Chains A and B, each alone.
Chain A
């Protein structure tokens, strides 16, 4: 039930502020800022190569995957490495998640009972994949801080759940560097306003011809020694993809 940092929609939560919710008197156009940040990783359609490292008390694993997205509703991720899981694919289409398993040559639609399960052994759940694109509907965004803090000129945006939104967080706070407008950190607070998990954005580099953070690390607060790290190795925002690319039938097709 954690919100998503998943590739390639991982950072899209930053675009989740619905435009009308942005209060007019704000000196900064929060919506535009969020849109801008979101477009760093995800345009109308995207194709990316991403590596993911997961460290928990019980295991450490890394994987490499290809990922495609179209709009907010469609995402396809296929594993390249490790060999054991090569070809495994996850398709998110609207609220549904399908998993293709090459070992058994089966495609399975996850039931609601599985949504709480970990996605690929990471600190994200399957539900995160579904909920991620709904942030826009679920939260109101507002500028909560602008100025200097800790020697850095910052912009801080706070997302508060709308009345009745089916989300577990108390609030989500994102900090952006005021100069470069690069995201630095996103904090997820529980209901008692204690930090439940932290996402950090680092390693600014060139992706698809633009300067963006290429690495994000998610750390759960109750297990500070664990993390999931996602690194973008390639990103192409200029691809042409259609709905048929994201069909269940295409899931098992290896490239």
Chain B
């Protein structure tokens, strides 16, 4: 009965209903876009940063995080890696040795960090340096003497494809050791620090150089299909898989500054969404309140013919619920093509970023996409429904408070 009345009321005041529906539908569109863009930007930043070295979840020797050293290492890496890969939600895993070294050519010597990798595990997906290859190619074996180096390092050492380079580091016993490599590829990420001091080398060769066992490394990095699952994956790994003497950390711990930044970013987005919510509910509140005021006479009549104030309030709320639900449906339908466009094509922001956005290299994508999680969609839907009904709460209560006699008198 109440539902029917509320429904009929909506269509008796079509214009008002359409305005309200428009508000909600527009709100859906704005919220989904804002949340999706925000989530996409975290996703990208976090994944890019994971691809630069540590992955989403890292198994490393105890104490390595506090003071990294090649003397610290974990063992049984192959077995651990295969068990890590079996964990639900883990997409990729790599075994790496990361360390500081001195690099020399016949003309010069520079300091730099080496990342020793197994090329069969590394894909452009998980390794930004491979994606940033400008010349030459990635080495294919694990025991070769081939290296992929940064463009600025190549420049400093006066190196080119095929040229020799000697890496000197401190081995597992603290002894100074050297190894020869030839340049196989040159990458350019456009981050000066990285391009001038990073190189990739084959892992088994470095193991031999450093005196590591065939199954030892400084880290195992896991790439999680959805970065939000990092923590549960970490707990799973540390509970059952991690070798002795190892600690397991998520990207939040290995890259605490990035985590802080993304927290603040998220905070700002919450602020933004809160303001957006205030605006949307202000719109709905405005409309409902006005409509209640306009319908005083009508409400007075209803009360006079025996409707209880609570029922009246319920009716107003039900109207709002209909508007919210209908608005959500219309909004979702209307913004579906837009969402699809953002997911598939994206917004080209290059005009806002100056002409030469290539300076940012692989780290900058001038095309903005969105990332939608079903949780965000659900929260948006529930949130907007709650907002639209919450905004009608005050008008509903004030409708219920209308003294029937006065109103009729007033009108008469």
Contact = CB atoms under 8 A, between A and B. Distances in A.
Interface stretch (A39-47, A108-116, A199-207): A108-116
Interface string B133-172: 0000000000001000000000000000001111111100
Contact of A191 (B101, B164, B177): B164
A112 B166 contact: no
Interface in B147-204: 163-170, 175-180
Contact of B104 (A1, A96, A191): A1
A164 B181 CA distance: 8
B287 to A, nearest CB: 69
Contact of B109 (A95, A125, A191): A125
A116 B109 contact: yes
A190 B106 contact: yes
A112 B100 contact: yes
Contact of B164 (A95, A113, A125, A168): A168
A113 B180 contact: no
Contacts of B178: 131, 166
Interface in B18-65: none
A127 interface: yes
B107 interface: yes
Given A95-B175, A95-B177, A168 B105 contact: yes
Interface string B108-122: 011100000000000
Contacts of B168: 112, 115-116, 127, 166
A96 B165 CA distance: 21
B164 A112 contact: no
A41 B109 CA distance: 29
Nearest to B179: A166
Contacts of A164: 145, 180
Contacts of B104: 1, 116, 127, 168
A109 to B, nearest CB: 9
B106 A168 contact: yes
Given A164-B145, A167-B180, A191 B175 contact: no
Contacts of A251: none
A185 B102 CA distance: 30
B70 to A, nearest CB: 9
A166 B176 CA distance: 12
A127 B176 CA distance: 10
* Consensus secondary structure, chain B interface: strand
Contacts of A190: 106-107
B110 A116 contact: yes
Interface residues of B, number: 25
At the interface, is chain A mostly helix, strand, loop or mixed? Answer: loop
A235 interface: no
A94 interface: yes
A1 B106 contact: yes
A112 B170 contact: yes
A165 B175 CA distance: 18
A167 B102 contact: no
B180 A115 contact: no
A49 interface: no
Contacts of A127: 102, 104, 109, 168
A164 B208 CA distance: 13
A65 to B, nearest CB: 23
B102 A112 contact: yes
Interface string A71-105: 00000000000000000000000111000000000
Nearest to A110: B176
Nearest to A116: B109
A126 to B, nearest CB: 10
Nearest to A117: B109
B105 A115 contact: no
Given A127-B168, A165-B180, A112 B101 contact: yes
B180 A191 contact: no
Nearest to B159: A191
A1 B164 CA distance: 12
A115 B206 CA distance: 19
A167 B176 contact: no
A95 B170 CA distance: 10
Contacts of B109: 1, 115-116, 125, 127
Contacts of A196: 106-107
Given A112-B170, A166-B168, 11 more contacts: A1-B106, A1-B166, A116-B102, A116-B110, A125-B109, A127-B104, A131-B178, A167-B166, A191-B106, A196-B106, A196-B107
Interface of A: 1, 94-96, 111-113, 115-116, 125, 127, 130-131, 164-170, 190-191, 196, 222
19 contacts: A1-B166, A95-B176, A111-B170, A112-B102, A112-B168, A112-B176, A113-B111, A115-B102, A116-B104, A130-B176, A131-B178, A164-B180, A165-B180, A166-B167, A166-B178, A168-B104, A170-B106, A190-B107, A191-B164
Q: Which 4 A-B pairs have the closest CB atoms?
A: A116-B109, A190-B106, A1-B104, A166-B178
